[in-house]
Structure 1
Amino acid sequence: MFGGHIIFGTLLAGSLCLHLVSADTCPAGAMPGLPGIPGFPGRDGREGVMGEKGDPGIPLKPEEAIKNGEKGVTGFTGMPGKRGLRGDFGTSGPEGPPGQPGEQGNLDASKSHLHSAFSVSRSTRLPPEPSSLIRFTNIITNVNNHFSADESKFVCKIPGTYYFVFHASCKEKSLCVNLMHDDKKLAIFCDHMPKNSQQASSGGLAVDLKENEKVWLMTGYYNGLYAEGKKGDSVFSGFLIHAQ
C-alpha cells in the first residue's frame, strides 16, 4: 500500500521537473526511480448470504440411483387424532383360576331376616264385648315375635305387603268382625246366625304396612265369637308376602 504511494510520488516529481522547472534546474538525462515496495494484502470481505437450495444433481450414469441423505432429527409430537372406529371383539381368554373361598354365612340369620308370620287362637267360650278388641291368648306361631301377646295386635317390623285372615266359630249369635289398621276399619265381615245353630265364618285381606303400624281384630255390634275345644276354634293369622 505504501509502496504504491512512493512510486507515484517519484513519477510525479519527475514529471514536474520535466514540464515546470527550467532545463537548468533538472539534471539532463535522469533515470527513472526504482519500483516501490508491494503493499500488504487486503482483508477478506464479509460472508455473503446463503443461497437457495439447488435442484438435485443428475447422476453421471443413468443406472445410478440418487442417494438419500442422512436421517434428520425427530420432530415434535403432533396433536392426537380423532378417535377411530371401534374394532371387533377379540376372542375370549382362557378361564382364570378359582378364587379364594368366601366366609361362611350365617344360615339362621339369612332365613329369618325377612320372615314374619303368626297364628294365634282364642280358647274361651265367652264372647268378647261388642265393639271391642278381640283377644287371642294362645300363641300357635309367632316368627320373630312380631305379634304382641300383651296387646293382642300384630306390630309391623318389616315394611311390606302382608296377608291377614281369620276363622271364627259362631254359636247361636250373629258375628261381625272388623279388620283394623291403626284405628282405621279396613274391612267388615258379618255372619248372621239363626237360633240354636253353630257355624264358622272367615275373611282375609292384603295390607301394605309401614314400620310400627299395627293390625288387629275388633267385634262390631254382633259379637257371637265362640271357642270350645273340639267343637270349634277362632284363629287369627298373618304373614309377609313381599318386603319393600
Structure 2
Amino acid sequence: MFDRHLISGIIFIVSLCFSLVSMDTCPGAGTPGLPGIPGLPGRDGRDRIKGDNGDPGIPLKPDSASMKGEKGDPGVFGSPGKRGRPGEAGDKGLPGPPGEPGDQGEFGDTTSLLQSAFSVSRLTRNPPEPHIPIRFSKNITLINSHFNNEGKFVCEISGYYYFVFHASSYDKNLCVILMVDGKKFATFCDHHKIQKSQQAPSGGLAVHLKQNQNVWLQTNSYNGMFAGDTGDSIFSGFLIHAH
C-alpha cells in the first residue's frame, strides 16, 4: 500500500514540473535534490500451493538397455587361502620308457676281489683240544687273508666253496669234524689198530656260504692228530663260484 502512494507522488511531481516548464516558470537546470529516504522493506510473499508432478521422462530404448559396458580394471589380488587337506593317493601310473644306456665304466681288476683260497698246516705233535677250532701254525697259501689265527675261515664273498682236509694220527683214535657256523657238516674218523703211526683218510665237500659265515675243523674226544716226519695235517679251501 505504501509503495503505491510513493509511486503516485513521484508521478505527480514530474507532471507538475513539465507544466511549469511549458509556462516558463520552472527553471531549466536546477540543483539536484538530496536522495530520498529508503522505503521500508516489504512483507514476505504468501505461500503458494505445490504444483502438480511433471510428466514422466522418456524411457530407455530396449537396444540400449542390453548394451554391455566396458571391461573394468582387474582388482587387487587377495591374500592366499588356507592349505586344504591332502587328497587321496592316485592310481599307480604306467611304467615309463626305459632310459638311455649309461656311459661305459672304467676297466677295473675284479679278479683279485673275487678270489679266496687258503691252505694251512699244523706243525706240532701235541693233540688239539677237543670241541674247539683246531689251530694251524703255518700258512702255505693265503689269498685275501680270509683264514684267521683262530683256525676259522671267514666268508667275505658269498658263493660256493670247496673244503678239504688231510690229517695224520699217531697211537690214538682220530675224528675230524667240518663245522659251519657251529653246525656239523661232515665227520671223518680213523680208529687205532696195530700200527702206532697211521694216516687218517682225507675228506672234502662243497659248501654254499653267505657273507660272514665261519668254517673250521675240530675234534671230539678222539683227538689223536699228529704232525711230524711220518705225516702232516693240512686244511685247505677255495672259492668255486661267487654267487
1:189 match: 188
How many aligned positions are there?
139
Q: Does 1:131 align with 2:93?
A: no
How many Å separate the matches in 2 of 1:137 and 1:219?
17
| RMSD (Å), alpha carbons | 1.7
* SS of the residue 2:157 aligns to: coil
Tell me the residue number matched to 1:41. Answer: none
Q: Structure 2 length as normaliser, TM-score?
A: 0.54
**Partner residue in 1 for 2:214:** 214
Name the counterpart of 2:153. Answer: 154
Output aligned runs, 1:110-121, within 5 Å. Answer: 110-121=110-121
Q: Which residue of 2 aligns with 1:77?
A: none
Provide the residue aligned with 2:163 in structure 1: 164
Please give the residue correspondences for 1:69-88 in structure 2 after superposition, counting only pairs within 5 Å.
Answer: none
Q: Which residue matches 2:232?
A: 233
Native 8 Å contact 2:164 2:237 kept in 1: yes
Q: Is the 8 A contact 1:123 1:227 kept in 2?
A: yes
Amino acid at match of 1:240: L
- Tell me if the contact between 2:160 and 2:209 (Cα under 8 Å) persists in the aligned partners: yes
Q: What whole-Å deviation, never above 9, does each CA across 1:4-61 have from its counterpart, x for those lacking one?
A: xxxxxxxxxxxxxxxxxxxxxxxxxxxxxxxxxxxxxxxxxxxxxxxxxxxxxxxxxx
Conserved? CA contact 1:173–1:195, under 8 Å? no
What does the per-residue CA deviation read over 1:119-141, in whole Å, with 9 as the maximum and x for residues that have no partner? Answer: 00000000112333211111111
Whether the 8 Å contact between 1:119 and 1:237 is mirrored in structure 2 is yes
How high is the TM-score relative to the length of structure 1?
A: 0.54
- For residues 183 and 192 of structure 1, the distance between their equivalents in structure 2, rounded to whole angstroms, comes to 25
Structure 1 residue 103 displacement after superposition: 8.9
| Alignment match, 1:39 | none
Deviation at 1:221, TM superposition (A): 1.7
Greater Cα shift, 159-168 or 186-195: 186-195
Unpaired runs of at least 5, structure 2: 1-103
The C-alpha deviation readout for 1:88-125, integer Å capped at 9, x for no partner, is: xxxxxxxxxxxxxx99844xx33211110000000000
Which secondary structure does the structure 2 equivalent of 1:237 belong to? strand
Question: Any gaps of 5 or more consecutive residues in structure 1?
Answer: 1-101
Distance 1:171 1:182 in 2: 29
Equivalent position of 1:51 in the other structure? none
Tell me the SS of whatever aligns to 2:130.
coil
Render the CA deviation track for 1:137-165: whole Å, top value 9, x for unaligned.
1111110111112x210000000010101
- The CA distance in 1 between the partners of 2:133 and 2:110, in whole Å, is 35
Match of 2:199 in 1: 200
Larger radius of gyration between Structure 1 and Structure 2: 2
Measured after TM superposition, the shift of residue 199 of structure 1 is: 2.1
Residue equivalent to 2:13: none
Query: Take 2:105 and 2:153, find their aligned partners in 1: how far apart are those partners?
Result: 36
Taking the aligned partners of 1:179 and 1:104, their CA distance within structure 2 comes to 41
Amino acid at match of 2:210: K
Distance change >3 Å, CA 105–CA 225, structure 1 → 2? same
The secondary structure found in structure 1 opposite 2:134 is coil
Q: CA deviation at 1:231?
A: 2.0
Partners of 1:231 and 1:105 in 2: CA distance: 50
Contact 2:133 2:152 in 1 (8 A): no
